[in-house]
Structures are given as C-alpha cells and as structure tokens.
A and B are shown apart, each in its own frame.
Chain A
C-alpha cells in the first residue's frame, strides 16, 4: 500500500514541489544576475540592443506616470484588453454554437465544412491588410481580425468534442425517453465541455497574437502601438516593457478562463 502511493505520480509531485519551486526561483535569480552583469557592471551589451534592469524600471516608471506613445500603461493595457476580450467573446458566441451544430448534425457538417476547408489555411494575420482596406485603422478592423483568428479554434474543438461524445450515454438517455433538449443539455454539453474549453484557450491565445500584430501594423493606442513607437525610437527598455506587459496580460486572461472552466465543470458534473 505504502509502496503504491509513493510510486504514484501524485505522491511524487507533492514531494518534488519545494525542490521545483527552489530551482524555479534559482533560475529567475540567475537570469536576473546575468542580465545585470551583462548590461550594467560589464557593459557588454549595448543599451540600443537590450536595456539594463535600471533602464527597464525607469521605463516602467515613465509609463506609470507621464506615459508614452499617447497614453499611460493603464490606457494602453485597457484598450488592448477590451479589444481582445470583446473580439474573443463575439468569436466564441458564434463559433461554439456553429461547432456544436456541425458536430450534432452531419448535414450541417457537410454544409459548413467546405467553406471551412477553404478559409482555414489562410493565417489570421493575413486578414489584417484586408481588414484595413475594408474598415481602415479602426477598432472595427481589429475586432474583425481578432474574430477571424479566435473563431476557428472555437469551432473546430467544439465540433470534435460533440462528435466524439460518449455514444453509450446518448443511447442510454434516449432509451429512457430524454427529449432532444434534455439530451443536449445533460449529455452533449457536459461531455464536450473539456474540449470546448481547450478550443477557447487556443482562441484566446490566437486573439492576443493577432491583436499585437494588428496594433503593430497600425494603431493609435494599445500595447502593440507602444511596441511600434518604441521600435521607431530605438527605445529598447520600452520594447521590453511592452513585451512583459503583453505576456502578463495573456497569462492573466488565460488564468481567468481556467477559473471559469473549473467552475462550469464542477457545476455541470455536480459535487
């Protein structure tokens, strides 16, 4: 008994956690030390190539107070965040039901799939110029490209989740006389939920990537705008700051989605 619990991966992970944390911390400290040495005490790296920690924090301070590229950190972050989240929500609101119908009904799949096969190979970033021709450098054109990029993963994963739903459960429910509505609510949705959320995570990631690209191509405010302005000014500290903020914002939105997922799955499957 003792031997089996010890060899199980859960038991090992619990034992390894402090060690992992320690080494993770060591990694961060070592990297910071190398960064400081190369840029500040040894001066091997030209500040026009990569900023020193001092310059990075000066950039952060400037960003928090006077601002840069047309706004302070909160302005840029909020603009990007609102665009990503709203574009993501619209894509999900259209994509998940469409994927669901395609997975549920073979006729719907036969009808929608050819259009998908035509449009899917085009990378979402290639839509940016077309969106600008159609809508100009506006929030609407950014919403369009975010929609295009976030739409596809939502549809495909929902489709796969519904198509691979547990047949035995479906038949059992049918035998007991479940109506179509109940069948969908109580069998299809809970069973497909994990894959749907996999799709949503991919969608969210794609939304961030596309937004950054769209803002680099043209924007008046937003994190991509900070990147492109800093690139033109050769302000490496600002470039690094924008990258860090983009990474943190992406990580936080993914975490938020994870919380929603855990809540929903607990609610769906019961205590």
Chain B
C-alpha cells in the first residue's frame, strides 16, 4: 500500500498560480489592460454594470431576459421532446419513421438554425427561443427513447391486460420507468440550450447577456466581455446544480437509469 499524500497543496498552488500570474502579468504592465484586464478590474466592472445600465439595462436585467428566453425554449424542448422519445420507444412504426429524420437533424449545428429562426419568429423572443429549442431538443428525445426501451415489456403487457389505455400506459408505466434517463437527458439539454442561447444572442438579439458580450466586443472592452463571461458561467453552473439536485431526487425515488 502506498502512503496517502495530501493533495490539497497542489490544488491551492494551482489557484494561487492562476490568479497570481494573471494579476501579476497585468500589474507588471507586460500586457495592456486593453488586452487583458486584471481579475480585480473584471470584478470592479461587474459591480459597475450591476449599478449603472449598460447597453440599455442593468446586467441583472439582461440576465433575467436571457434566462426567460432560456426557460421557454428549454420547457418547449422538454414538452415536445419527451413525448416524442417515449412514443419512439413504444411504437415501432413511429420509431422507424422518426429515426432517419432525427439522425439527419442531429448533424445540423444548433447555431445554423439562427437565420431561419430569425426569419420565422423574429429577433425578439421567438427566434432565440427556437434556437434554444433546437439545441435542447435532441437529448430530450434521445434519453426519453432510451428510457422507454428500458421499461420492462411485461409491465406494459400487464397494464394492457388490465384494460389500461395508451395514455394511462404512458403516464403510469412508461414515464416513471424512463424518468431517471429523462432527467439525465434534461441536464445535458439545459447545458446545450444555455450555450445555444448565448450563440443566438451574439448574432441577432438586442438585449440579454449575450448581447452585452457583443457590445463589449464592439467597444473593444475585454473587461466587459470577461465580466459577462463570468455571469454566463455562474448562471450555467446554477442551472446545472439545480438539475443535478433533481436528478439525485429522482434516482433516490425511482432507481438509477
């Protein structure tokens, strides 16, 4: 048996080195802060943006409008994607009809939908929601499909012999059986949806956290860009944490996927 070495000094060294180098390089004047602002300057900029409107709104208002778009798109993807996936797992004809469509759809990068989304639903709230939807849809379908395939056939047959209709089978046998897999898919979905939203806002929108990024870029202000990246990263982390929590609850109640 090897002796257990304490590992925390390495982790501490890493963090200290990362921020120390970053701050040091800027303080020493090795790079201009038009190129790389120091960590302190980024936090300071974030504080300013939280108190004075930038690009029309306070940063938390931009974040709120982004989050709302994200929520609608994500909810839509789940509401449409999960039943489609369950149906693919339940009915063979549907599975065989839908698989080729789904496979070809999967190869289209979500951001490639931006032009059509903007032409069809406008650049306000409809277009971005469609882009989030296209990003978040695939994992919803795929995991509901896989989950439904895992459901014991005998349970479905037992429900049928007791006279359950298709809707009741879906609600009381398929959905609970597939739930662990579905929730795992939702986590992947949320990550992709959040990322697609940033992409959509970079290209066509005039509010939201992605738009702040673009304005920061146009003003050549890396401090604004990096402060927004920080906010985007933290929000993504919170969304992931909430879904991880939901996943743990579902696993505890309905078993592992």
> What is the interface of chain A, defined by CB distance below 8 A to chain B?
19-20, 23-24, 26-28, 31, 48-50, 106-107, 109-115, 118, 121-130, 132-134, 208-209, 212-213, 216-217, 227-228, 230-231, 234, 236, 239, 242-243, 246-248, 250-251, 254
Contacts and interface: CB of A to CB of B under 8 A. Distances in A.
B141 interface: no
B229 A126 contact: yes
A231 B14 contact: no
B35 A227 contact: no
B225 A124 contact: no
A129 B96 contact: no
Size band of the interface chain B makes with A: 35 or more
**8 interchain residue pairs of minimum CB distance:** A129-B217, A231-B115, A110-B10, A123-B195, A110-B7, A121-B233, A122-B233, A23-B96
Contacts of B10: 107, 110-111
Nearest to A248: B107
A28 B100 contact: yes
Contacts of A243: 108, 112-113, 116
A183 to B, nearest CB: 15
Given A24-B96, A49-B119, A239-B116, A216 B111 contact: yes
Nearest to B9: A110
Contacts of A130: 217, 222, 225-226, 229
Contact of A242 (B14, B107, B112): B112
Contacts of A123: 194-195, 198, 232-233, 236
A185 B108 CA distance: 37
B109 A27 contact: no
A204 B133 CA distance: 22
A34 to B, nearest CB: 12
A228 B96 contact: no
Interface of B: 5, 7-8, 10-11, 13-15, 18, 35, 93, 96-101, 104, 107-116, 118-120, 194-196, 198-199, 202-203, 210, 213-214, 216-217, 220-222, 225-226, 228-230, 232-234, 236-237, 240
A49 B114 CA distance: 13
B165 to A, nearest CB: 26
Contacts of B202: 125, 128-129, 213, 216-217
B120 to A, nearest CB: 6
Contacts of A28: 100
Contacts of B237: 121
A223 B207 CA distance: 26
Given A121-B240, A123-B195, A114 B115 contact: no
Contacts of B233: 121-123, 126
Nearest to A208: B109
A216 B194 contact: no
Contact of B97 (A27, A50, A129, A231): A27
B18 A118 contact: yes
B218 to A, nearest CB: 9
Nearest to B237: A121
A247 B8 contact: no
Contacts of A126: 198, 210, 213, 228-229, 232-233
Contact of B109 (A107, A132, A209, A230): A209
Contacts of B213: 126, 128-129
Contact of B112 (A26, A49, A212): A212
A127 B229 CA distance: 8
A256 B234 CA distance: 36
Contacts of A209: 109-111, 199
Contacts of A217: 202-203, 214
Given A213-B111, A234-B119, A27 B100 contact: yes
Contacts of B104: 247
Contacts of B113: 243
Contacts of B195: 123-125
Contacts of B240: 121
Given A122-B230, A231-B119, 4 more contacts: A31-B101, A123-B198, A128-B213, A133-B221
A269 B105 CA distance: 35
B198 A247 contact: no
Contacts of B225: 129-130, 133
A26 B19 CA distance: 59
A27 B222 contact: no
15 contacts: A23-B93, A24-B99, A26-B97, A107-B7, A114-B11, A118-B18, A122-B229, A122-B233, A123-B198, A130-B225, A133-B220, A227-B114, A231-B115, A231-B119, A251-B107
A137 to B, nearest CB: 10
A111 B16 CA distance: 11
A106 B110 CA distance: 37
A213 to B, nearest CB: 4
